């Protein structure tokens, strides 16, 4: 049975071109960038070359504005905790949307335990941040506001430029988690008015183990990881040369191919949405049009998301779910609750994220598997049987 991988928001395969480019940094070019001999200097050059590619990828002002980290989660921690603690004299309020990644929310909750005020911005039923509600929560003491570029679970794209105007009118710094968006849609930190931006290597078809944080010139941060002072003293630790070199190469490739690939995936996404919504009591989650081109997310009444995931895997089709199992907690997805779903509704979700390997020809196989899975699980559900009486 052919494998159909539909969980690219969770993990992407490394592009073969990226692997070929970065492979030598695991063997012959494995030097430490802090070493002064020729092998070390070669490794340092690899890091700087990657930094240049990333700078171009997001239209940053200069290479010094890019800091490499071990992951997007680490970059989020550095952006939020580092900025808040470094600028504590300017304010002790932090703000984030209700649908941010858990690494953003937990970073702000950690600051809250240490005397900061943490304000949560509500979203509408499609996941869009309400500019009016954002404006009412902002004060001159709001040192960091975090709004993701697009949500990884429901695919909704936020009006970042408008949000930036509000934040800078009443607050101080805007942090944007672009992990789900970068490589899918254009991200331009200067045009969008972004002060700090997070993204990840593996979400660009690069190796796991590298992330990056853009820091606008003039923004001051306090390091959260102490050591030898690498990455301008903001991220200590020996650099992962293989992952960083691969991330730079991946960014260059995806930038050149993004428009064509996104248009291709949008056609597959739209067809999948049309087909799957034919199933009884099935609903699209997220915004119907302002969504990532590779993203389709649904909820099904009367069944559990983790059961959907496991049943789909029996067809050798890998999907994601926003229910309790995927978040490793006993609670349903905070994103689905934030858009107004009840607990029982939030448990029955399915998230499909497409990638380079997916084709239009796979659609009948996917829709057949989803239809049979939903029918099978509903037959086992006492809630669905009760609803049919």
pLDDT tens-place string over residues 154-168: 999 999 999 999 999
Q: Are 354 and 265 in contact (CB under 8 A)?
A: yes
Quote the pLDDT of residue 327.
Answer: 53
Q: Is the pLDDT of residue 31 over 60?
A: yes
Q: How confident is the model at residue 328 (pLDDT cuts 50, 70, 90)?
A: low
Quote the pLDDT of residue 389.
Answer: 39
Q: Which of 322, 319, 320, 327 lies closest to 341 in space, CA to CA?
A: 322
Please state, in angstroms and rounded to a whole number, the distance separating the CA atoms of residues 111 and 77.
Answer: 11
Q: Is the pLDDT of residue 326 over 90?
A: no
Mean pLDDT value across residues 81-98: 96
Q: Are 33 and 43 in contact (CB under 8 A)?
A: yes
Q: Is the pLDDT of residue 181 over 80?
A: yes
Residue range(s) of every CATH 3.90.1150.10 domain in the chain: 4-10+258-388
Residue keyed to tokens 């902002």 = 138
pLDDT tens-place string over residues 198-212: 999 999 999 999 999
Q: Which of 191, 138, 141, 194 lies closest to 164 in space, CA to CA?
A: 194
The CB density around residue 58, as the number of other CB atoms within 10 Å, is: 23
Quote the pLDDT of residue 330.
Answer: 56
- Predicted TM-score (pTM) of this structure: 0.94
Residue 150 exposed, middle or buried by CB count within 10 Å (0-12, 13-18, 19+): buried
Q: Residues 185, 279, 325, 337: which is the catalytic one?
A: 325
Q: How confident is the model at residue 126 (pLDDT cuts 50, 70, 90)?
A: very high
Q: How confident is the model at residue 388 (pLDDT cuts 50, 70, 90)?
A: very low
Mean pLDDT value across residues 173-183: 97
355 assigned to active site: no
pLDDT tens-place string over residues 252-288: 999 999 999 999 999 999 999 999 999 999 999 999 9
- What mean pLDDT is reported for the chain? 93
Length of the chain: 389
% of the chain exceeding 70 in pLDDT = 96
CATH architecture of 16-253: 3-Layer(aba) Sandwich (3.40)
Quote the pLDDT of residue 135.
Answer: 92
Please state, in angstroms and rounded to a whole number, the distance separating the CA atoms of residues 12 and 206.
Answer: 8
CATH 3.90.1150.10 applies to domain 4-10+258-388: yes
pLDDT tens-place string over residues 214-249: 999 999 999 988 888 888 888 988 889 999 999 999
Q: How confident is the model at residue 357 (pLDDT cuts 50, 70, 90)?
A: very high
Q: Is the pLDDT of residue 324 over 80?
A: no
Q: Which of 109, 49, 51 lies closest to 80 in space, CA to CA?
A: 109
Mean pLDDT value across residues 279-300: 97
Q: Which of the pair, 12 or 326, is modelled with greater confidence?
A: 12
Please state, in angstroms and rounded to a whole number, the distance separating the CA atoms of residues 189 and 35.
Answer: 33
Residue range(s) of every CATH 3.40.640.10 domain in the chain: 16-253
The CB density around residue 304, as the number of other CB atoms within 10 Å, is: 19
**Who's near 15: CB < 8 A, 6+ residues apart?**
205, 206, 250, 253, 356
Report helix, strand or coil for 58. Answer: helix
Report helix, strand or coil for 212. Answer: strand
């Amino acid at each position: 049975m052919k494998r159909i991988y539909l969980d690219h928001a969770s993990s992407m395969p490394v592009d073969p071109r990226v692997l070929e480019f970065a492979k030598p940094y695991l063997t012959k070019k494995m030097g430490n960038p802090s070493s002064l001999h020729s092998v070390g200097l070669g490794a340092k050059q690899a890091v700087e070359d990657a930094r240049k590619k990333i700078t171009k990828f997001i239209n940053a002002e200069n290479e010094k504005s890019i800091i490499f980290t071990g992951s997007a989660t680490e970059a989020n921690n550095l952006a939020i905790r580092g900025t808040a603690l470094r600028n504590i004299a300017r304010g002790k309020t932090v703000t984030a949307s209700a649908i941010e990644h858990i690494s953003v929310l937990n970073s702000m909750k950690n600051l809250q335990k240490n005397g900061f005020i943490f304000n949560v911005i509500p979203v509408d039923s499609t996941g869009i941040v309400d500019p009016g509600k954002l404006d009412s929560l902002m004060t001159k003491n709001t040192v960091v506001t975090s709004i993701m570029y697009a949500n990884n679970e429901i695919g909704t794209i936020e009006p970042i430029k408008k949000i930036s105007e509000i934040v800078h009118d009443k607050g101080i710094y805007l942090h944007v988690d672009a992990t789900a968006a970068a490589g899918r849609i254009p991200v331009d930190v200067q045009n969008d008015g972004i002060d700090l931006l997070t993204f990840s290597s593996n979400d660009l078809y690069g190796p796991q183990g590298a992330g990056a944080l853009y820091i606008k010139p003039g923004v001051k941060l306090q390091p959260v990881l102490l050591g030898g002072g690498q990455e301008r003293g903001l991220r200590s630790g020996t650099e992962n040369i293989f992952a960083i070199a691969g991330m730079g190469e991946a960014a260059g490739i995806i930038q050149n191919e993004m428009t064509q690939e996104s248009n291709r995936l949008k056609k597959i996404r739209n067809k999948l949405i049309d087909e799957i919504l034919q199933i009884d009591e099935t609903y699209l989650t997220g915004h119907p049009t302002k969504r990532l081109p590779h993203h389709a997310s649904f909820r099904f009444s009367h069944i559990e998301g983790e059961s959907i995931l496991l049943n789909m895997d029996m067809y050798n089709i890998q999907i994601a779910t926003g229910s309790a199992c995927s978040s490793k907690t006993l609670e349903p997805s905070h994103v689905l609750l934030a858009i107004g779903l009840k607990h029982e509704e939030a448990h029955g979700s399915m998230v499909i994220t497409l990638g380079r390997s997916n084709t239009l020809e796979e659609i009948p196989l996917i829709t057949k598997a989803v239809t049979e899975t939903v029918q099978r699980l509903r037959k086992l559900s006492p809630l669905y049987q009760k609803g049919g009486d």
